Amino acid sequence: MFDILFLGTGASVPSRDHGLPAVLVRSGPDTVLLDCGEGTQRQIMVSPYSFMKVGGIFITHLHGDHFYGLPGLIQTMGMMGRKDRLVVRGPEGTAAAVEAVLSVCPGELGFELDVSDMSPGETVSVGALSVSPFSTDHGLVSQGYIVKEPDVRGKVDAAKAESLGISGRDFSVLEEGGTVNGVSMSDICEPTRKGKVLAYTGDTRPCPSVAEAVKGADVLIHEATYTKSEASKAQEFFHSTAAQAATVARDCGCGALFLVHISNRYKDRNECLKEAAEIFPAVYLPADLSVYKTTKRGIRSV
């Protein structure tokens, strides 16, 4: 089950109420950060979470509002005594950008910084989580990410095991992947519980690669920079409207939709929420520092 902390839900420049793009996703002991706009480390500091627990940071593209918080966060981790390895991934140019910034800042980090570029088709593990990029359409090299929890094996059905003659040391054999009298572990367990799937688009126009990647996601976090009245601007600047985000969620069978990266031009953000809800009712408009949890029954605000 995911905890989702929205650190910044604004677009392009910060405002009094909305920081720049960054979403922290936690599942059990494993935590990843999706994008890292300026001010992200301060936002985490005033949240219930710790940036020292972040195991991986994934950048969608190298526009400043998604990237400029990263060097400062890395340096702060070092000054705070981090020892654990940190994975940093992003599209082509990310590794060079990080290395260029850190090269002009003297001092040793004190921990392993595992930074490299990453392309669609690749997967990296952060603890038990797997993270995979997919292509987006933003006018430069850009990508979104799929974050998957592992599947969880169902509980052993004791009555079924007994009926099949499984007892004592037989369970150890089955746990190690073996069989006993033709019986395997899957034969005596309840159905496997699929791990939750979260999709994060970063900045993008609607495009086939996004639609294909987010199919069936339990949670879709989709940019909604504009409302449909400014659809032409969304198209021109490689962004999406709230209506377009909702259409993707509906057509791709997503469980829930969160709208982020909303332009400061909208003083009443409920315009975006209302527009999306007419198409996809299971839509949320998170505030900065809001936390949501995925549960067996759906989404819960904390």
* Cα distance between residue 89 and residue 248, in whole Å: 26
Q: Which member of 3, 17, 35, 65 is catalytic?
A: 65
Residues near 260 by beta carbon (within 8 Å), at least 6 away in sequence: 6, 9, 21, 23, 221, 222, 223, 224, 286
Is residue 219 within 8 Å of 294, Cβ to Cβ?
yes
Task: Give the residues across from 43 on adjacent strands.
Answer: none
DSSP 165-228: T--TTHHHHHHTT--BTTB-GGGGBPPPBPPPEEEE--S-B--HHHHHHTTT-SEEEEE--B-G
Q: Name which of 222, 228, 205 is nearest 283 in CA terms.
A: 222
Catalytic residue flag (residue 65): yes
Positions marked catalytic: 65
